[in-house]
Amino acid sequence: MTLLLYRIDDRLLHGQVVVGWGQPLDIDFIVLVDDTVATSDWEQELYRMGVPPEMQVYFLTADDAIKAIPEYRADSRRGLLLTGDIGTMRHIVDGAKIDAVNIGGIHSGTGRVQKLRYVFLSPDEERQLRDLAAQGAKVTAQDVPGARPVSLDDLLAGAELT
Amino acid sequence: MSDATGDHAELLRAIVAGHGDFANGLVSAVQQITGRGDQLIGVSVAKLCVEDIENLLRQKMIDANVRVIFTDLQAGSCTMAARRILRGMDDAVLVAGANLPMLLDYVFAEGRNAPEAARHAAERGRVAITAHGAGA
């Protein structure tokens, strides 16, 4: 099939990804792009234990992901690409065109301001999201498939924050 | 040791953590059924990043001197965080996939240390799952 979803989620592989998106999209494999995880057997084992045995997980650095994306897009199976931060997705988009990016969860942290129930951003992260959009990626926030996607403009304006 | 008056000051305690209101919901159910909900510490992590989840759970375990943590989902953030914590805490136990029968068994554990009680409860929770009706 192809890569069906490109998601930024600081929790990486967790319930929303494996079950929330994995089941309705009938995901066969997940490409987890993180330079730290890609070089740690222990971290990989930790994440691998969280997914059902029929789901494959590939751990790549950002640079390796750029090279491998054409192959994953040509794969007959259904896949999902995941990064833990905006900067990694920005790096990937520099090297491989991506039409749409899903912001699945960026949680509270130093210097971040809440923009949505599950999205907190620093000024630098806001700029990086605008850069992603300027590179041609449609950026929306959506934690689970049943939720309404929130546009980048509404996200940055905090329009959906109640 | 507990007695007929309900004094269970020395009974085992544990952290319960998971998605949404899962943890506090289970704790309230244990309280309603047994009056022993105070043995469990419900933790909700909805807005926290991964590092903060790990720090919160570790701090709760240290503050309450608890070495057992129950979580809801194998792939969940709390489970991931707990597994990181266990890496540096040799006497602790994580049980992922918690349910109400499991916690009921745990809060009534007597004569076992916390890790033994957690493993016993995990097995009790596993066998408490049944399916009835069509397709059986």
In tens, the pLDDT along B60-113 reads: 999 999 999 999 999 899 999 999 999 988 899 999 999 999 999 999 998 889
Task: Write phi, then psi, for A124 (nearest 5 degrees).
Answer: -65, -40
Residue extents of the structural domains in chain A: 2-157
pLDDT in the model for residue A155: 97
pLDDT in the model for residue A42: 94
Residues near B88 by beta carbon (within 8 Å), at least 6 away in sequence: none
What share of chain B in percent tops pLDDT 90? 79
State the pTM of this model.
Answer: 0.83
Interface of B with A in 61-90 (CB under 8 A): 73-77, 79-80, 83-84, 87
Instruction: Give me the total of CB pairs closer than 8 Å, taking one residue from chain A and one from chain B.
Output: 51
Q: List chain A pLDDT tens, one digit each, 162 residues.
A: 699 999 999 999 988 899 999 999 999 999 999 999 999 999 999 999 889 999 999 999 999 999 999 999 999 999 999 999 999 999 999 999 999 999 999 998 889 999 999 999 999 999 999 999 999 999 999 999 999 999 999 999 998 886
Query: Cβ–Cβ of A19/B52 closer than 8 Å?
Result: no
Q: What CATH architecture applies to the domain A2-157?
A: 3-Layer(aba) Sandwich (3.40)
In chain B, what residues touch A106 (CB-CB under 8 Å)?
49
Query: Cβ–Cβ of B75/A50 closer than 8 Å?
Result: yes
Single-letter amino acid, residue A41: D
Q: Are B109 and B11 in contact (CB under 8 A)?
A: yes
Element of type H or E holding B102: helix B100-107
Work out the minimum CA distance from B78 to partner chain A, whole angstroms. 9
Domains annotated on chain B, with CATH: 14-127 (3.40.50.510)
The residue length of chain A stands at 162
Q: Are A162 and A114 in contact (CB under 8 A)?
A: no
Token readout for A134 is 């300027």
The predicted-structure confidence for B69-81, as pLDDT tens digits, reads as follows 999 999 899 999 9
Nearest-angstrom CA–CA distance, B52 and B107: 28
Say if B136 is an interface residue toward chain A (CB within 8 Å). Answer: no
Nearest-angstrom CA–CA distance, B75 and A14: 5
List the single residue in B19, B49, B50 with the smallest CB-CB distance to A15: B19
Query: Cβ–Cβ of A50/B80 closer than 8 Å?
Result: yes
The predicted-structure confidence for B22-59, as pLDDT tens digits, reads as follows 999 999 999 999 999 999 999 998 888 888 999 999 99
List the single residue in B47, B75, B84 with the smallest CB-CB distance to A51: B75
Angstrom CA distances, B1 to B7, B33, B83, stand at 8, 20, 31
User: By CA distance, what is B19's nearest residue in A?
Assistant: A15
